Structure 1
Amino acid sequence: MSTLGMVDLQVNGFGGIDFNKDDLTAEELDHALTAMLATGVTRCLPTIITAHTECLRARLRALDSAICNSRLGPVMIDGIHIEGPFLSAKDGYAGCHPKDAMRLPSIENFDYLTEGLRTPIAMMTLAPEHDGSTQFIRELISRGTTVSLGHTRATRDQILQAIEAGATMSTHLGNGIAHMLEKNNNPLFAQLGEDRLIAGLIADGVHVPPYMLQSWIRAKQASRVALVTDATAAAAARPGTYTLGDVTIERGTDGIVREPGSPYLAGSGVTLDQCVRNIMNWHGYDLATTFCMARNTPLSVLGKSAIPSVGDIAECVFWQQHDAQWHVTGARIGNWQVHINS
């Protein structure tokens, strides 16, 4: 069976390559994108996480250069996703983002970080409780950047204000959030019950337990769920140590990515085709419904149609059933194709 390609809105790295480095090369990016293509992903948003201003600026410029000079970057990358630095530095919300690099939202700072980039900033994740967030969101929306809410301890009223300003997505909903929350007024339920927000969900069984994921998909409805991986360099890679920016991370033999010697998660090692299989196995959704969570909804977040138009780059993913599960056996985007021996 063949389908169009899947779309991952949150990829920090892949196939042993960290996108959050000052000296990312076009060759390294092509290696990562080829590995991603082999999992059925034909389009993605490389994601850069929080860092101090000069470091973040350098990493964005390195990623932009790698995209423009690579073979697959121009055809597979719809833009860059910046996750931070306008996030919550409070315990339980910062995740593996460096707290001392967090700052208040500022268009001047955003413009400095992105000055001279040829690749558009397709998405920005921020915490809307900061002063100036509403005006900042409106300005980004006017420039064509999708705004997603994440790593936030915002109240329901603050989240509603962000939505009114134009925010349309929740970044890895249920993660980047404290374990203990106020019973009623908390950022999880405020986003989960809001139909105007698409929920980005990591379906690896680790970031969100399957039984909770089932409840959240029912609450949002499948049409408002975008499956994401939050993949790191440890995705589609052997067990061992890798980097996520300035943080050392470790992929265990169980496939889970953590900070070494710590129980805390640091991105993921899952692939999007595995997320699709997980949703089908755990919750009984068929391939067509689940596939929409991995393509149609992510593209709608970016304001793009799931159906190709005349003149669009050709893309195709081949699937085959093994042991009652669907696996990617090959994929093509433009002139580039991969084949997986089954």
Structure 2
Amino acid sequence: MTAEETILAGARLVLPSGVVEDGRLAFSGGTITGIGGPRAAGDLDLTALDLTGFTVVPGFVDLHVHGGGGASYASGSAEEALVAARTHLEHGTTTTVASTVTGEIDEVCRQAAVLSELVEDGVLAGVHFEGPFISPGRCGAHRPDLLREPDPALVRKLVDAARGTARMVTLAPELPGGLESVRMLADLGVIAAVGHTDCDYTKTLEAVDAGATVATHLFNAMPSINHRAPGPIVALLEDERVTVELINDGVHLHPSVLDLAYGAAGAERVALITDAMGAAGMGDGLYPLGPLQVRVEDGVARLVEGGSIAGSTLTLDVAFKRSVLVNKLSLTQTVRSISTNPAALLGLSDSIGSLAVGKNADLAVFDSETYDLVAVVRRGEWITGAERFSSGS
């Protein structure tokens, strides 16, 4: 061990190859430098930290989050964006794509410019535009009068405003310009996501053929499954080219519906997201979501006007715990959905998304019995929980 190296010993490690009990993981300079099984007999490395009774997984990757800690990414304020990112970081999300909400095009462009600077600084991993190119009939917590048809020129204007940091655009492909915009986004290397849509089954498949690869919070803000009109849900679940976002907060989806999605798509095509707004990590009360007001009661966010669900108050450590304890997913399935798959979608698998030598030392540490989060490490820096562990393993 070098003087700068940290060794975690005795932990359960969730690796791409499976779960290793009594494992050892070393990191130095922000990078994982070693992974192994139990120490050899006579190895008395007293500098290792004892993580017996704890489970170590790769830091979470959230593709879709609007805010947290009382702050919003749609505020246009770098200070608020930093608060939101820090809040989710303390809950295990070491890689964040910041999501905007529907607003005036020029205002959303201004927000994107602010967020792009934080991407360049390494705080965020990109920008996701959710709206304004969505269906008026499925707008949810987006202001209807600000919605726009996905004219490729307008879509390109938002993407350009992000100065190379746009990672995803959610749109309704059935609207005029929708399929053309999907093709343009695919050509630009930006994820086209189907969401807030009234698409039927056939139009959804056309969007996938045009290059759409993500379903924005599947089941929510789209037509339900009908036995004679399967709609977008069935099309998105059955197509192997599509990754489906799921919000596992117990509010957006009944546990059996989440189980259904896993049964249809498999863990290799699920990305667990928060879709969190500013109340994540906070208490009940009134919060802004773009130009709208949201009331949070008992942890559920709804628009003050109309009562529609308005994002979530979820953090990904809670989604992890629910996935394991409520949905009975395996640790490897959960890690794949919450870290590995979204990292791959972002093209960042070489550095994040799994525990492997040479990748970033982005770690979330859970109690192995309760699955409560106890520590977070990002790029080798202890964000929370370092005081929990002692050397002398």
Task: Name the TM-score, length of structure 1 as normaliser.
Answer: 0.89
Counterpart residue identity of residue 41, structure 1? T
Q: CA deviation at 1:122?
A: 0.5
Is it true that 1:102 corresponds to 2:154 in the alignment?
no
Q: Give me the whole-angstrom Cα distance separating, in 2, the residues matched to 1:132 and 1:50.
A: 18
Counterpart residue identity of residue 9, structure 1? L
Are residues 98 and 223 of structure 1, via their aligned partners in 2, closer, same or farther at CA, if it must alter by over 3 Å?
Answer: same
**Gap runs ≥5 in structure 1:** 69-73
Are residues 52 and 218 of structure 1, via their aligned partners in 2, closer, same or farther at CA, if it must alter by over 3 Å?
Answer: same
Give the secondary-structure state (helix, strand or coil) at the position aligned to 1:196: coil
Q: Number of residues paired by the alignment?
A: 330
Q: Give me the whole-angstrom Cα distance separating, in 2, the residues matched to 1:242 and 1:67.
A: 25
| 1:2 corresponding residue in structure 2 | 56
1:274 pairs, out of 315, 318, 324, with: 318
Q: Give me the whole-angstrom Cα distance separating, in 1, the residues matched to 2:206 and 2:162.
A: 30
- Could you tell me whether the CA contact under 8 Å between 2:61 and 2:95 is conserved in 1? yes
Q: Give me the whole-angstrom Cα distance separating, in 2, the residues matched to 1:326 and 1:246.
A: 37
Are residues 28 and 132 of structure 1, via their aligned partners in 2, closer, same or farther at CA, if it must alter by over 3 Å?
Answer: closer
| 1:316 corresponding residue in structure 2 | 363
| 1:246 corresponding residue in structure 2 | 291
| 1:212 corresponding residue in structure 2 | 257
Q: CA deviation at 1:336?
A: 4.2
- Could you tell me whether the CA contact under 8 Å between 1:123 and 1:147 is conserved in 2? yes
| 2:75 corresponding residue in structure 1 | 21
Is it true that 1:80 corresponds to 2:80 in the alignment?
no
**Gap runs ≥5 in structure 2:** 1-54, 389-393
Give the secondary-structure state (helix, strand or coil) at the position aligned to 1:325: coil
| 1:186 corresponding residue in structure 2 | 231
Give the secondary-structure state (helix, strand or coil) at the position aligned to 2:205: helix
Counterpart residue identity of residue 128, structure 1? P
Give the secondary-structure state (helix, strand or coil) at the position aligned to 2:239: coil
Give the secondary-structure state (helix, strand or coil) at the position aligned to 1:75: coil
Structure ranking higher in strand proportion: 2
Is it true that 1:301 corresponds to 2:354 in the alignment?
no
| 1:71 corresponding residue in structure 2 | none
- Could you tell me whether the CA contact under 8 Å between 1:75 and 1:333 is conserved in 2? no
- Could you tell me whether the CA contact under 8 Å between 1:29 and 1:67 is conserved in 2? no
Q: CA deviation at 1:309?
A: 8.2
Is it true that 1:175 corresponds to 2:220 in the alignment?
yes
Task: Name the TM-score, length of structure 2 as normaliser.
Answer: 0.78
Q: Give me the whole-angstrom Cα distance separating, in 2, the residues matched to 1:49 and 1:182.
A: 33
Q: CA deviation at 1:133?
A: 2.2
* Residues 43-70 of structure 1, C-alpha deviations (whole Å, 9 max, x = no match): 01100111122222222223334554xx
Q: Give me the whole-angstrom Cα distance separating, in 2, the residues matched to 1:159 and 1:15.
A: 36
Are residues 114 and 164 of structure 1, via their aligned partners in 2, closer, same or farther at CA, if it must alter by over 3 Å?
Answer: closer
- Could you tell me whether the CA contact under 8 Å between 1:42 and 1:76 is conserved in 2? no
Q: CA deviation at 1:182?
A: 7.4
Q: Give me the whole-angstrom Cα distance separating, in 1, the residues matched to 2:290 and 2:381.
A: 29
Q: Give me the whole-angstrom Cα distance separating, in 1, the residues matched to 2:80 and 2:56.
A: 28
Counting only pairs closer than 5 Å after superposition, residues 55-204 of structure 1 correspond to structure 2 as 55-68=107-120, 74-90=121-137, 93-118=138-163, 120-178=165-223, 183-204=228-249
Give the secondary-structure state (helix, strand or coil) at the position aligned to 1:43: strand
Q: Give me the whole-angstrom Cα distance separating, in 2, the residues matched to 1:218 and 1:264.
A: 28
Q: CA deviation at 1:164?
A: 1.0
Q: CA deviation at 1:112?
A: 2.7
Q: Give me the whole-angstrom Cα distance separating, in 1, the residues matched to 2:68 and 2:345.
A: 22
Q: CA deviation at 1:231?
A: 0.5
| 2:4 corresponding residue in structure 1 | none
Give the secondary-structure state (helix, strand or coil) at the position aligned to 1:265: coil
Deviates more, 1:287-296 or 1:28-37: 28-37
Q: CA deviation at 1:168?
A: 0.8
Q: CA deviation at 1:185?
A: 3.8
Is it true that 1:325 corresponds to 2:370 in the alignment?
yes
RMSD over equivalenced CA pairs, Å: 2.3
Give the secondary-structure state (helix, strand or coil) at the position aligned to 2:333: helix
Q: Give me the whole-angstrom Cα distance separating, in 2, the residues matched to 1:81 and 1:167.
A: 14
Counterpart residue identity of residue 60, structure 1? A
- Could you tell me whether the CA contact under 8 Å between 2:224 and 2:233 is conserved in 1? no
Are residues 301 and 32 of structure 1, via their aligned partners in 2, closer, same or farther at CA, if it must alter by over 3 Å?
Answer: same
- Could you tell me whether the CA contact under 8 Å between 1:200 and 1:227 is conserved in 2? yes
Give the secondary-structure state (helix, strand or coil) at the position aligned to 2:74: coil
* Residues 222-281 of structure 1, C-alpha deviations (whole Å, 9 max, x = no match): 2111101100001011211111101111221x2111123754210000111111111212
Counterpart residue identity of residue 136, structure 1? S
Counting only pairs closer than 5 Å after superposition, residues 29-44 of structure 1 correspond to structure 2 as 29-44=81-96
Give the secondary-structure state (helix, strand or coil) at the position aligned to 1:314: coil
Q: Give me the whole-angstrom Cα distance separating, in 2, the residues matched to 1:66 and 1:131.
A: 33
Give identity over the alignment, percent: 30
| 1:285 corresponding residue in structure 2 | 329
Q: Give me the whole-angstrom Cα distance separating, in 2, the residues matched to 1:307 and 1:212.
A: 27
